[in-house]
Amino acid sequence: MPSRFPKVAPTKVIRRDEWQPDETVTIKLYLGGYDQERISSAGQSLERAADGRMEMRPRLHDRRQLELEVGIVAWTFYWLKDESDPASERQAMELTPEIIQSLPPKDREWIAARLDDAWAAWGVKPVTPTPPEDATQAVIEQATTAQATEVRAADAAFPEGPSSGVGGAATR
């Protein structure tokens, strides 16, 4: 059994059969508390429901993207200088959030599944916390109060209404 507290996050090189023989991805097998919290908090947002109430909603796309950004340590993917010639000179693909987003969905999901398996084996899979109802209500009340204050301030600054040049043409 591996140590519960690794000094350095262990890694694993993975490769999909459909990839070129020299294309690999190195993934992080362990997540510390900071990474777990970042991923968990990215997976939720406070949004207004159709009936006007504020509620916590999952943001799975943002969460999956961050899991890939945190979990991928390195890769050997490359661009071809001349896409029409498979034998053309190759250029290494940078490991950036934008490039991770541009990976084909089947590759993103395959890598994400390997991360899920690895993190589950360590018992460190991030979870989306569910705040207690009273905490959610407090956030909603703060947001509503702040919004009402902004509206009153805007009304005081522009007593003529929207035709005063803010958000429309001036009528003076």
pLDDT in tens, 127-163: 544 444 555 555 555 555 656 566 566 666 666 655 4
Same domain, 82 and 143: no
pLDDT tens figures, 57-107: 666 567 788 889 999 999 999 988 888 887 788 899 999 999 999 999 999
pTM for the full model?
0.60
Whether residue 139 is found in the same domain as residue 163: yes
Band of the pLDDT at 45, cuts 50, 70, 90? low
User: In this structure, are 71 and 151 located in the same domain?
Assistant: no
Q: Phi/psi at 158 (nearest 5 deg)? A: -130, 75
**Do the beta carbons of residue 108 and residue 98 sit within 8 Å?**
no
Number of domains within the chain: 2
6 is a domain residue: no
Alpha-carbon distance 79 to 90, whole Å? 6
The residue range of the domain holding 150 is 131-172
Same domain, 115 and 136: no
Strand (E) or helix (H) holding 12: strand 11-14
Higher pLDDT, 86 or 27: 27
